[in-house]
Chains A and B, each alone.
Chain A
Amino acid sequence: MSTDNLSRPTASLIASDRRCGFVFTDAEREAIEHEIGHYEDSRAASIGALKIVQESRGWVPDAAIPAIGQLIGIPASDVEGVATFYSLIFRQPVGRHVIKVCDSIACFLTGYDELAAALRAELGVEFGQTTADGRFTLLPICCLGNCDKGPTLMIDDDLHGPVEPSGVRVLLEAYP
């Protein structure tokens, strides 16, 4: 588990990013060091570190990968392996708000298709894409543990359900 699955970015990009350098904010560094303290081995903080960078910047820029590796003492390729494995680590910029729509079975039975169609129409994007104004990114997600209130979605940290297709426009207005 090191350099496999390195689908993006290309090696030359990584190299140029390395030269660009990456500087943690004090808050990021502090949060990552705090995280390291929870484990017997600093490697365990790799996912947390990616999440901390993502929390403050919205996504994980390529240059953050070797910087995280250096901070927690593991090879950059291992950090990259982790970053590409987990679906909620974003390796490219996302919109100001991320919409995660549950496409698992209970929501599928209670109207996922109609909800997804309404969202695509309202936003003018497909799943995996960000609106041109940079406001929303639309993503699929598996069961959100809210199956008694399907169809369900999350916008940023907020869980919503059941969401009627006709209510999508009003719902999105709360996320400028």
Chain B
Amino acid sequence: MSAGADIRTSPETHPLTWRLRGREAVTELADYEALDGYAALRLALTELSPGDVTQRVKDSNLRGRGGAGFPAGIKWSLVPMGADAPRQKYLVCNADEMEPGTFKDRLLLERLPHQLLEGMILTGYAIQASRGYIFLRGEYVLATQRLEQALTQARQAGYLGETILGSGWSFDLFVHTGAGRYICGEETALINSLEGRRANPRAKPPFPQIAGLWGKPTVVNNCETLNCIPAIVRHGAEWFKGLSQGRSPDSGTKLYGASGRVQRPGVWELPIGTTARELLEEHAGGMREGLALKAWLPGGASTDFLLPSHLDLAMDYDTIMKAGSRMGTGLMMAVDDRQSMVSVVRNLETFFARESCGWCTPCRDGLPWTVKLLSALERGEGELGDLEILAQIARQLGPGKTFCAHAPGAIEPLQSALKYFREEFERGIAAPPAAAING
């Protein structure tokens, strides 16, 4: 966390990271409890019904931090409740963080493991889950150790296990570590992976809330989303809404970040709706000496490029969407003016081609084709018509044309780069006839 102390002055304004003020991490249960830890859980289990907790989260208008921004409370309220509901229900934390340019969940997992557990136990209570899993990418070794330790401590303290805090509700949590493949982050592929299968996505509907893990109702939420829950339960929906300080109709704070060749790359908890300019110029200190901003991705590889002229936009779901991109994970990536957009896009598409799960043909065959064309353009060996083929592939991999959102995500940086930087791609075509340049 490279933000100055001035912007993290109280738990009221920085619900996700205030416990890290002056500390590298809060890994011990006693330290977390001394910092108001598990207070929200005690409150919920003694004074609130599961429905009250869901209502509070619904009222807070918390939107999922995994990329799509789906309201968490609404997702939970689709889970069957009551005496007729299946006895087994599951909660899964999506901690598979592999979206290129995204480094927020690792911070929470390594440095505030109990906060995630508290968020998960509260969510589990709200949906009356019987078990939870933290789907953690295998490369997050330190996070695995710290979460395992936190789980042991929470079990010993009675926050997990049989009839938690005497409430009559029993719940346990397990860490499940992955073995690679970005597609595991897609929630239905994640469920297949958790079941010990190949991580191919499943058709929706049925949605996981109805039939997910082992066919039972399952909620999958992102790690940062779940980290927001304790403070919402503790301080209330209205307070959470106020955290955006009028910068956005969205509520709460967000872990924003900046990477690329900026002065001080990092991640900061800021009111949701903070502008991209503030992120880049104030928090990241602007571009490195001698470099200028050329383009930026708002939140991960699977978002559309925006331009320097978009920097004053509020980083929230609807504003960035209206500008033709998506906020995604909210960690912006700055492309400087020394970079070739063709090379940048070739790098991005190489990632998407390699990480395709191979289930459906447009994605499995289309993405390697884009890499082939982009590589030729990069070497200056492109052919006339290549840009039209790229644009056509982009259309054929769009929303609704493939089995999951991997391919539509993959073409977002491609289509936007073609829109804003077409001349750079044209320059990669070998000896174009004059007519083609003008036409």
The reply to whether B259 and A147 contact each other, CB–CB distance below 8 Å, is: yes
Assembly CA distance A19 to B348 (angstroms) = 45
Cβ contacts under 8 Å, A50 to chain B? 179
Q: Which of A40, A43, A145, A147 contacts B197 (CB 8 A)?
A: A43
Cβ contacts under 8 Å, B195 to chain A? 41, 43-44
The reply to whether A104 and B351 contact each other, CB–CB distance below 8 Å, is: yes
The reply to whether A82 and B266 contact each other, CB–CB distance below 8 Å, is: no
> Is A6 located at the chain interface by the 8 A CB criterion?
no
The reply to whether A44 and B103 contact each other, CB–CB distance below 8 Å, is: no
> Known contacts A89-B179, A145-B106: does B196 contact A109 (CB below 8 Å)?
no
The reply to whether A105 and B139 contact each other, CB–CB distance below 8 Å, is: no
A-B contact pairs, 11 of them (CB 8 A): A1-B197, A1-B198, A5-B358, A86-B199, A89-B179, A105-B333, A106-B259, A109-B260, A109-B334, A145-B97, A147-B102
* B interface, CB within 8 angstroms of A: 88, 97-103, 105-106, 131, 138-141, 174, 176-182, 193-200, 214, 257-261, 265-267, 297, 301, 331, 333-336, 339, 344, 347-348, 350-351, 354-355, 358
Cβ contacts under 8 Å, A87 to chain B? 179-181
Q: Which of A5, A103, A147, A149 contacts B101 (CB 8 A)?
A: A147
Q: Which of A45, A88, A146 contacts B179 (CB 8 A)?
A: A88
Q: Which of A23-31, A117-125, A136-144 contacts B (4 or more CB under 8 A)?
A: A136-144
Q: Which of A39, A74, A105 contacts B348 (CB 8 A)?
A: A105
Residues A84-116 near B (CB distance < 8 A) = 85-89, 100, 103-106, 108-110
Q: How many residues of chain A have a CB within 8 Å of chain B?
A: 44
The reply to whether A141 and B139 contact each other, CB–CB distance below 8 Å, is: yes
Cβ contacts under 8 Å, A1 to chain B? 197-198, 200
Number of residue pairs spanning A and B whose beta carbons lie under 8 angstroms apart: 142
Instruction: With CB as the reference atom, state the residue of chain A lying closest to B141.
Output: A157
> Is A163 located at the chain interface by the 8 A CB criterion?
no
The reply to whether B176 and A38 contact each other, CB–CB distance below 8 Å, is: yes
Distance to closest chain A CB from B294 (angstroms): 11
> Is A46 located at the chain interface by the 8 A CB criterion?
yes
The reply to whether B106 and A110 contact each other, CB–CB distance below 8 Å, is: no
> Is A150 located at the chain interface by the 8 A CB criterion?
yes
The reply to whether A143 and B101 contact each other, CB–CB distance below 8 Å, is: yes
Assembly CA distance A143 to B355 (angstroms) = 12
Instruction: With CB as the reference atom, state the residue of chain A lying closest to B140.
Output: A145
Distance to closest chain B CB from A169 (angstroms): 24
Instruction: With CB as the reference atom, state the residue of chain B lying closest to A43.
Output: B196
Instruction: With CB as the reference atom, state the residue of chain A lying closest to B267.
Output: A148
The reply to whether A143 and B102 contact each other, CB–CB distance below 8 Å, is: yes
The reply to whether B182 and A142 contact each other, CB–CB distance below 8 Å, is: yes
Cβ contacts under 8 Å, A109 to chain B? 259-261, 333-336, 339, 344
The reply to whether B178 and A86 contact each other, CB–CB distance below 8 Å, is: yes
Which of B196, B331, B355: most chain A Cβ within 10 A? B196
